[in-house]
Structure 1
Amino acid sequence: MAAAHPAVPRGARAADGAPRHAAHAHRPRLGLPRQVVIEVVQKDERGYVAASGFGPRADWYRNVMASPDVTLQIGGRRVQATASPIPTEEGGEIMARYAPRHPAAARQLCKLMGFAVDGSAEDYRQVGHHIPFVRFVPRRVP
């Protein structure tokens, strides 16, 4: 499931300082391993959260929804995880919290998805209802 080469150098960050990580998954129909760099917008006690900036039709999003057992590469370590979609209301709250911490990335994500925002938490919350968010929950490996 994991790729042979690290996709993201240790400590890699987006222009606004947000961490970048790699997710490794299989293409559902072909079973071929795929690797993609994602931005973790939130890490909490339940796992890692990423947003699909290109919506539900993004290849990586469709792949992890079809084959949710993935390997995350975080820095120099690999974490086995299960991907699950985040409910719309929770996605709105995630976006409302993310935007003030990473304003440039939040504006860019909104623009990419065709949303104009006024910068308020409520505006970002409403946009967050339209962005597919995924939670990657680490699995215990026996």
Structure 2
Amino acid sequence: MTESATDPWRVVPSEPRPRRAGLLDRLIEKVLRTQWIVRAPIALYRAGLGWMFGERLVMIEHLGRVSHDRRFVVVEVVDRQRNVIRVASGFGTRAQWYRNLKANGVAYLSTGGARHVRAAVRLLDRAESEAHLAVYAARYPRAWRHLKAAMDDAAGGDAYIPIVEFIPPPR
């Protein structure tokens, strides 16, 4: 053995360290985990003031998996087309609203112009989710960079962000 191989102070190259989220990204994560802040828009939507948030946000009313009580969440719209709204679950498949929709598929949406509209739920697979997120990232690169970094930091690595699609229910 050579001296450099036995030297405890020798720096040995290892696999690259994952990028630590910046201060702004960690702040975004902290805000997204602060319940009273993320729940504040719900009262405005329920009061009919959802129009204040424009087209980028939507309130989802869903039913609890066990209690079947009404639950509410406001999330950002990733993609909007005629009669289709897609949203991302930033905290992945662990998010309570995502788990509730997966369990029972019951959803009512309130957007800027419409309130309490019944919608069918479709959970997109990984490939579809990544394709829609790529389009979102191209459209809003700065927002995507910070939100993705915050979600990666919260997940402790590369976060999987699934997409949920809402369409008119079958008649």
Deviation of the 1:44 alpha carbon: 2.2
Deviation of the 1:8 alpha carbon: 5.8
CA distance in 2, matches of 1:7, 1:62: 27
More helix, by proportion: 2
Following superposition of structure 1 onto structure 2, how do residues 1-142 of structure 1 map, counting pairs within 5 Å? 5-6=46-47, 9-13=50-54, 19-45=56-82, 47-78=84-115, 79-114=117-152, 130-139=160-169
In structure 2, the gaps of 5 or more residues are 1-42
More strand, by proportion: 1
Q: Give identity over the alignment, percent.
A: 33
Give the TM-score normalised by the residue count of structure 2.
0.63
SS in 2 for 1:131: coil
AA aligned to 2:137 is A
Whose radius of gyration is greater, 1 or 2? 2
> 1:118-141: CA deviations, max 9, x gaps?
xxxxxxxxx79x311111112267
CA distance in 2, matches of 1:72, 1:8: 14
> 1:75-108: CA deviations, max 9, x gaps?
1413210111102111111111111211222112
In structure 1, the gaps of 5 or more residues are 116-126
More off after superposition, 38-47 vs 23-32: 38-47
Q: Is the 8 A contact 1:51 1:132 kept in 2?
A: yes
Q: Is the 8 A contact 1:53 1:112 kept in 2?
A: no
RMSD (Å) for aligned C-alpha atoms = 2.5
Q: Is the 8 A contact 1:54 1:112 kept in 2?
A: no
Deviation of the 1:57 alpha carbon: 0.2
CA distance in 2, matches of 1:38, 1:8: 15
CA distance in 1, matches of 2:48, 2:98: 17
Q: Aligned residue for 1:124?
A: none
CA distance in 2, matches of 1:5, 1:97: 30
> 1:45-102: CA deviations, max 9, x gaps?
4611110101110111111111212100011413210111102111111111111211
Give the TM-score normalised by the residue count of structure 1.
0.75
